[in-house]
Amino acid sequence: MIHETAVIDKGAELGTNVEVGPFTCIMDGAVIGDGCTIGPQATIFGSVTMGSGCEVHAGAVLGDTPQDVGFKNTSSSVAIGNDCVIREGVTIHRGTEEGSETVVGDECFLMAFSHLAHNVVLANNVILANGALLAGYVEVGERAFVSGNVGVHQFVKIGRLAMLGGGAVATKDVPPFCMLKNAEHNTVIGLNVVGMRRSGMSFEERKAVQRAFKVLFLSGFNASQAKDRLEELFPEGPASEFAAFITASTRGLCACAIQRNSALDV
């Protein structure tokens, strides 16, 4: 199952039923889980730990040193979960600080030439389309969808089930369930209704999220006022994630392009 031209250091650990393609290099210290398929000409550095059932396609580079001028050759890592698909040319860099890591959750799909900089954290079931670029310390919530050629600034948080449209730029935090406008800068245009439905959220939960969205973006409140009102109205359930997200935000929230009193589909 290992091509004769592949280079696998003696200190690399490969699980059972692992396939390795031609001219791939897996370095000392790397851990590859059971049933993984590593395509041709991929490079996996010793800082990488990968779960079971993953697919790594041609030319991917996983666990290289971060593109950070402050990096001091410290010991850091990349942790990849189970059943991830990592397509052609994807780059994932390890953490900057001693003992830190870049994390990819379970069942994530990273399309061709997407990039995770140092200390990025992806929750489970995140999808990055072709050419998506995530800078250092970006955090992405479960089932978020980042479209092609999107740029995400360092330290930005992207909430659960958010969707960033093609070519969008996020330099501020994108709340959960929200959609960022295509080819625009920090502009929310509504709720990711399709994503919420596919995730199994009930109509009542989606309706509550709609109400919370209006409180946050269409009520005239500032973020602090909106947080207080959201905590009062939605102490639990998916809608409560808005207040928690505001509390965790460090870069401020994206603005909303929708006019007040606009209808929102749920």
Question: For the segment 226-258, what is each residue's pLDDT rounded down to a tens digit?
Answer: 999 999 999 999 999 999 999 999 999 999 998
Residue 261 pLDDT grade (very low, low, confident, very high; cuts 50, 70, 90): low
The answer to whether residues 21 and 111 belong to one domain is yes
Predicted pLDDT at 262: 67
Assess whether pLDDT exceeds 80 at residue 266.
no
Predicted pLDDT at 264: 73
The answer to whether residues 115 and 222 belong to one domain is no
Give Cα separations from 198 to 78, 104, 161, 238 (angstroms).
Answer: 30, 22, 10, 14
Predicted pLDDT at 133: 98
The answer to whether residues 96 and 212 belong to one domain is no
Identify the domain containing residue 41 by its residue range. 7-137
How many whole angstroms separate alpha carbon 128 and alpha carbon 108? 8
Predicted pLDDT at 13: 98
Predicted pLDDT at 265: 77
How many whole angstroms separate alpha carbon 266 and alpha carbon 94? 39
Q: How many domains does the chain have?
A: 2
Taking alpha carbons only, the member of 112, 115, 104 closest to residue 80 is 104
SS3 label, residue 172: coil
Domain annotation covers residue 166: no
Assess whether pLDDT exceeds 90 at residue 103.
yes
Q: Based on the number of CB atoms within 10 Å of its own CB, is 257 exposed (0-12), middle (13-18) or buried (19 or more)? A: middle
Question: For the segment 127-177, what is each residue's pLDDT rounded down to a tens digit?
Answer: 999 999 999 999 999 999 999 999 999 999 999 999 999 999 999 999 999
CB neighbours of residue 231 within 10 Å: 15
Domain annotation covers residue 145: no
Residue 38 pLDDT grade (very low, low, confident, very high; cuts 50, 70, 90): very high
Per-residue buried b or exposed e for 149-169, using 16+ beta carbons within 10 Å of the residue's own CB = bbbbbbebbbbbbbbbbbebb
The three-state (H, E, C) secondary structure of 147-170, written as one string: CCCCEECCCCEECCCCEECCCCEE
103 and 79 Cβ atoms separated by less than 8 Å: yes
CATH code where residue 24 lies: 2.160.10.10
Instruction: Check the CA dihedral 157-162-165-166 and report its sign.
Output: positive
What percentage of the chain carries pLDDT values higher than 70?
98
Domain annotation covers residue 174: no
Average pLDDT, whole number, for the chain? 97
The answer to whether residues 108 and 223 belong to one domain is no
The answer to whether residues 14 and 102 belong to one domain is yes
